Amino acid sequence: MKLKLDKIGPMPVIINRYITDELFSFSIGLPPNFFESRLSDFEKMVEIPENNIKYLLTRKLSGSGLSAETNIKEVMSINFNHVFRAKEYFTNCQKIASLIETDHGFEIAFHNDIRAFEGYFWPSGNFAQFSISNFKTETYKVYEKAIAEVIRYLAKSEIIKIPVNYGSTGEFLEIRAIHPLGYVFSMDAKEIYKELGLANSLDKITRDIIEWAKPNKLKCCLKCVNFAFSGMSHDMSGGAAGYCNYIKRNTKDGEVQQSITHVWSLCEKFEEEIKR
């Protein structure tokens, strides 16, 4: 199954080429004068006195690999250029890499948070944030070397595994979240895509996948006799989190956080739910 990305914020995505089914190069279809407009907004932002910019961005700099002496305006410019002036972008639908051609070669940066990245493309772009995960960017003289580093980084997709209780050949159901609100479920060399929309809570999608996976039976909290939703936990989490009654029985009254669990979690006390 080839992954795809239709939009970044409100802007259409143009897929340039697939490197693998799960990794592709893309461009962003920007309307006329969009870059000039964003650049003007950005220049107004960096006119804010240095101390105020530092105040806005101090928490964002934590863990970024930058020294305390880093010029904040330069950092903001690096992030701005990698969002708007990249030669091309790459994604596995979980993370984004951008590539800029400079006089010294090809500079790459990695954007861990797609939501922070696409935030720049909405009508009121927020420049007091960073999408780049580490500002120690690397430059390569040869394009293919830069692409090899991008592929190496983006090959690391985050996958959740749910054990199979009974089944044919598969031992796990593998779940890969993809942007913006979709999931690819894989089992026994089969894949299915499900989009988390307004009408589909995560528990409903998981129930659909349980039916799709038959005759395999999945071991996860949603299928456990000890698991239950409250009306609030279901609504607040979009069907992603409920309560473990086993933990409730073994904790003091009021220790609510201890008993909250995700529908895809699992512990040694799993006992398959009784069908009513």
The 10s digit of each residue's pLDDT in 219-259 is: 999 999 999 998 788 999 999 999 999 998 888 776 778 88
**Which amino acid is located at 134 in the chain?**
N
Question: Average pLDDT in the 259-274 region?
Answer: 91
SS3 content of the chain, % helix, strand, coil (to 5): 30, 30, 40
Q: Looking at per-residue confidence, does 147 or 197 come out higher? A: 147
pTM assigned to the model: 0.84
Percent of the chain with pLDDT over 90: 61
Read out DSSP for 4-17? ---EETTEEEEEEE
Is 230 in contact with 245 (CB distance < 8 Å)? no
For residue 222, what pLDDT is reported? 96
CA angle in degrees (0–180, nearest 5) for 121-126-127: 105
What does the alpha-carbon distance between residue 158 and residue 146 come to, in Å, rounded to a whole number?
22
Residue with tokens 């992030």: 79
Distance separating alpha carbons of residues 157 and 184, to the nearest angstrom: 12
80-106 pLDDT, tens digit per residue, is 999 999 999 999 999 999 999 999 999
Render pLDDT for 42-60 as a digit per residue (tens, 0 to 9). Answer: 888 877 776 676 666 665 5
